[in-house]
């Protein structure tokens, strides 16, 4: 399978759509497989290290995702939960949601249809459990 994934990180959202400065947005697009998971893992580790912000992963642009990448996402979610932090994923109907359904992870991860809904959830979680 050809690998062509882009991982872009934004603090507080894209310039044209500021979500909330307390939320770090990681926008991922393309095909995510074993060859791209190292770069994604690095970006997620950096985001997890930024304890001043909650993490939102926008997966709407993902056209393919394999189990190795999904494992990285789940590991990051678990790490943030151990820190008393929250993570949310934005998905759309397609390959990501299909894999989440097949693996049963839809019930584990916090999933939303829009970045705005996800950011509102994250800010609410942060206010309920201040650090």
Taking only the tens place, the pLDDT of each residue in 63-90 is 999 999 999 999 999 999 999 999 999 9
What is residue 126's predicted lDDT score, i.e. its pLDDT? 75
The CA–CA distances, whole Å, from 43 to 21, 57, 118 equal: 18, 11, 19
Query: Which residues, in sequence order, are bridge partners of residue 27?
Result: 8, 58
d(CA 16, CA 31) in angstroms, rounded, equals 25
Q: Which domain holds residue 51?
A: 5-128
What is residue 6's predicted lDDT score, i.e. its pLDDT? 61
d(CA 88, CA 68) in angstroms, rounded, equals 19
d(CA 28, CA 7) in angstroms, rounded, equals 5
> Backbone phi, then psi, for 38, in 5-degree steps?
-65, -45
Give the CATH number, domain containing residue 59: 3.30.750.24
- 128 token code pair: 């309920």
Using an 8 Å Cβ cutoff, are 30 and 62 in contact? yes
What is residue 16's predicted lDDT score, i.e. its pLDDT? 34
What is residue 125's predicted lDDT score, i.e. its pLDDT? 82
Please list the pLDDT of the chain residue by residue as tens digits (131 residues): 445 556 554 433 343 356 889 999 999 999 998 888 899 999 999 999 999 999 999 999 999 999 999 999 999 999 999 999 999 999 999 989 999 999 999 999 999 999 999 999 999 987 776 55
Using an 8 Å Cβ cutoff, are 48 and 80 in contact? yes
What is residue 14's predicted lDDT score, i.e. its pLDDT? 41
What is residue 19's predicted lDDT score, i.e. its pLDDT? 81
How many distinct structural domains can be found in the chain?
A: 1
Whole-model pTM?
0.84
């Amino acid at each position: 399978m050809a690998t062509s994934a882009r991982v872009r990180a934004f603090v507080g959202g894209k310039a044209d759509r500021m979500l909330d400065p307390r939320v770090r947005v990681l926008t991922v697009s393309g095909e995510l497989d074993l060859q791209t998971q190292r770069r994604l893992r690095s970006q997620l580790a950096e985001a997890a290290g930024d304890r001043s912000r909650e993490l939102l992963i926008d997966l709407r642009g993902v056209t393919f995702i394999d189990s190795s990448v999904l494992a990285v996402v789940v590991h990051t979610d678990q790490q943030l939960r151990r820190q008393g932090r929250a993570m949310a994923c934005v998905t759309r109907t397609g390959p990501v949601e299909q894999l989440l359904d097949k693996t049963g992870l839809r019930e584990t991860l916090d999933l939303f249809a829009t970045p705005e809904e996800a950011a509102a959830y994250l800010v609410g979680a942060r206010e309920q459990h201040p650090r």
